[in-house]
Amino acid sequence: MSTPAPRRRTSSANTALAAAAVLAAANAFAFLVLAGRPDPGMAAVSVLPLAAAVLLWRRARVAPFATIAVAALVVIIRPVDLAFDLVRPGAVLPFATAAALVAAAGVAIVSSLVLVLRPSAGRGDRLVGVGGGAAVGVALAATLLVVWPQADDTGSLTDEQLAALPTVDLTNFKFSPAQLRVGRGQPVAFKFTNDTDDNHTFTITELGVDLEVPSGRTRIAVVDARPGRYAVHCAAGDHREKGMVGRLTVTDDALTSPTAAPATSTGAHHHG
Quick check: 104 and 62 in contact, CB under 8 A? no
Report pLDDT for 254. Answer: 62
Q: Residue 9 in 3-state DSSP?
A: coil
Quick check: 82 and 75 in contact, CB under 8 A? yes
Report pLDDT for 269. Answer: 33
Kindly give the confidence (pLDDT) of every residue in the chain, 272 residues in length, as a single tens digit, with 9 standing for 90 and above. Answer: 444 434 556 788 899 999 999 999 999 999 999 999 999 999 999 999 999 999 999 989 999 999 999 999 999 999 999 999 999 999 999 999 999 999 999 999 999 999 888 766 666 677 777 889 999 999 999 999 999 999 887 878 888 888 888 999 999 899 999 999 998 778 889 999 999 999 999 999 999 999 999 999 999 989 888 899 999 999 999 999 999 999 999 988 765 555 554 333 333 333 33
CA distances from 53 to 23, 44, 110, 213, 227 (A): 10, 15, 15, 32, 57
β-strand 179-182 against 209-213: which pairing, if any? unpaired
CA distances from 132 to 13, 85, 94, 105, 147 (A): 15, 23, 24, 11, 22
Please state, in angstroms and rounded to a whole number, the distance separating the CA atoms of residues 33 and 41.
13
Domain boundaries, the chain: 11-147, 159-261
Nearest-5° Cα angle at 165, 164 to 166: 115
Report pLDDT for 118. Answer: 79
CA distances from 210 to 105, 168, 195, 201, 220 (A): 29, 15, 19, 7, 12
φ, ψ dihedrals at 228, nearest 5°: 160, 180
**Domain 159-261 carries which CATH code?**
2.60.40.420
Beta-bridged to residue 204, according to DSSP, are 209
Report pLDDT for 8. Answer: 55
Report pLDDT for 255. Answer: 59
Report pLDDT for 270. Answer: 33
Reported pTM: 0.83
φ, ψ dihedrals at 101, nearest 5°: -70, -45
Beta-bridged to residue 221, according to DSSP, are 190
Q: Where are the strands (E) in 22-178, listed by range?
A: 167-171, 174-176
Please state, in angstroms and rounded to a whole number, the distance separating the CA atoms of residues 83 and 85.
6
Please state, in angstroms and rounded to a whole number, the distance separating the CA atoms of residues 29 and 82.
13
Nearest-5° Cα angle at 172, 155 to 193: 30
Report pLDDT for 184. Answer: 76
